Amino acid sequence: GQQLNQSPQSMFIQEGEDVSMNCTSSSIFNTWLWYKQDPGEGPVLLIALYKAGELTSNGRLTAQFGITRKDSFLNISASIPSDVGIYFCAGRDWGNDMRFGAGTRLTVKP
């Protein structure tokens, strides 16, 4: 099946720093999504991307749908302590099957 490679696996950053993480796929996706998961809770959608090349922002978060349709990145600017959590990318093809990356665990030091 389609595999999503998400990197980095974990990040330890200082409050105020910018963060960048990305996801690559072995095949094409129609939709890219970025979720955040807080401890003990389900993932919450941050950004959804539907078009190759699309760049979308949600507050301090910016995500892009790669032009090849095989990758996506998420940037977080000026990180704050509540950004701590696990960030997942997810891709969906023309069906309903959504594949998730293994996650990037973000730690923000005050």
Partner 1 sequence: DAGITQSPRYKITETGRQVTLMCHQTWSHSYMFWYRQDLGHGLRLIYYSAAADITDKGEVSDGYVVSRSKTENFPLTLESATRSQTSVYFCASRDKRESSYNEQFFGPGTRLTVL
Nearest distance from residue 16's CB to partner 1, in Å?
28
Which residues make Cβ contacts (< 8 Å) with residue 25, sequence separation at least 6?
2, 3, 4, 5, 70, 71, 91, 99
Closer residue to partner 1 in complex, CB, 31/75: 31
Does position 100 bind partner 1 by CB under 8 A? yes
Closest to 84 in 3D by CA, of 104, 62, 106, 103: 106
**What number of other Cβ atoms are within 10 A of residue 24's Cβ?**
18
Nearest distance from residue 103's CB to partner 1, in Å?
6
Single out the residue of 11, 19, 21, 33 in contact with partner 1 (rule: CB under 8 A): 33
Single out the residue of 12, 14, 42, 59 in contact with partner 1 (rule: CB under 8 A): 42
Does position 39 bind partner 1 by CB under 8 A? no
Cα distance between the two ends of the chain: 40
* 26, 92 contact by CB (below 8 A): no
Does position 6 bind partner 1 by CB under 8 A? yes
Binding stretches for partner 1 (CB under 8 A): 1, 4, 6, 31, 33, 35, 40-45, 47-48, 50, 88, 90, 96-103
